[in-house]
């Protein structure tokens, strides 16, 4: 089915953001594993896998709307040098994702594309959950202090 061009373009932009997030999170997850923070490693790796599912859903929808998914471009990847910097960079990525998905939902509404809207709504709920998890980590770091917080992250 031929989709609204603006919607297809927006889905392609979202795809680029998802692919960028996957790369950022995979690097962060592996850095955490390298430092022995197994619990963080698992949590961040799981988030990267969820972004992969989002990318798959976006690709599927773009193809259905007769667009061509762009998978050869990434936005700027922000790698943190330590855990707090990683979590800060990831929080910014997730906050941007929530903004972008909400904009896209608005556009899908304008184009009367309810099925795309449904898909975007299901994804933005996951992104909300990612923001929530990251904010919890900052709460814990503030309450425990960074060294004690990190000491809770060594076991999966």
Tokens of 146: 């960074």
Given the complex with Fe ion, which of 66 and 118 has the nearer CB atom? Answer: 118
DSSP code for 3: P
User: Is 90 a binder of Fe ion (CB under 5 A)?
Assistant: no
Q: Which of 12, 16, 127, 153 binds Fe ion (CB under 5 A)?
A: 127
Other Cβ atoms closer than 10 A to 23: 15
User: Is 10 a binder of Fe ion (CB under 5 A)?
Assistant: no
DSSP code for 72: S
| Residues contacting 143, CB < 8 A, separation 6+ | none
Give the three-class secondary structure for 155. Answer: coil
User: Is 61 a binder of Fe ion (CB under 5 A)?
Assistant: no
Q: Would you say 48 and 22 are in contact if contact means Cβ atoms under 8 Å apart?
A: yes
Q: How near is the Cβ of 91 to Fe ion at its closest, in Å?
A: 10
Given the complex with Fe ion, which of 36 and 49 has the nearer CB atom? Answer: 49
Number of residues that bind Fe ion (CB under 5 A): 6
Q: Would you say 108 and 101 are in contact if contact means Cβ atoms under 8 Å apart?
A: no
How many helices and strands (H and E) does the chain possess?
5, 0
Q: How near is the Cβ of 127 to Fe ion at its closest, in Å?
A: 4
Draw the binding track, 94-113, toward Fe ion (x: CB under 5 A; -: no contact): x-------------------
Given the complex with Fe ion, which of 97 and 150 has the nearer CB atom? Answer: 97
User: Is 51 a binder of Fe ion (CB under 5 A)?
Assistant: yes
Tokens of 40: 């963080």
User: Is 130 a binder of Fe ion (CB under 5 A)?
Assistant: yes
Q: Which residues bind Fe ion (CB under 5 A)?
A: 18, 51, 54, 94, 127, 130
């Amino acid at each position: 089915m031929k989709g609204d061009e603006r919607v297809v373009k927006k889905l392609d932009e979202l795809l680029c953001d998802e692919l960028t997030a996957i790369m950022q999170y995979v690097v962060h997850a592996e850095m955490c594993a390298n430092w022995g923070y197994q619990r963080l490693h698992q949590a961040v790796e799981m988030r990267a896998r969820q972004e992969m599912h989002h990318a798959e859903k976006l690709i599927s929808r773009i193809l259905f709307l007769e667009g061509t998914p762009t998978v050869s471009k990434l936005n700027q990847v922000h790698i943190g040098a330590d855990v707090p910097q990683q979590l800060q960079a990831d929080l910014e990525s997730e906050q941007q994702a929530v903004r972008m998905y909400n904009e896209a939902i608005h556009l899908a509404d304008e184009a009367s594309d309810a099925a795309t809207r449904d898909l975007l709504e299901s994804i933005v709920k996951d992104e909300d959950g990612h923001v929530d998890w990251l904010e919890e980590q900052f709460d814990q770091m503030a309450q425990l202090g960074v060294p004690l917080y990190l000491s809770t992250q060594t076991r999966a």
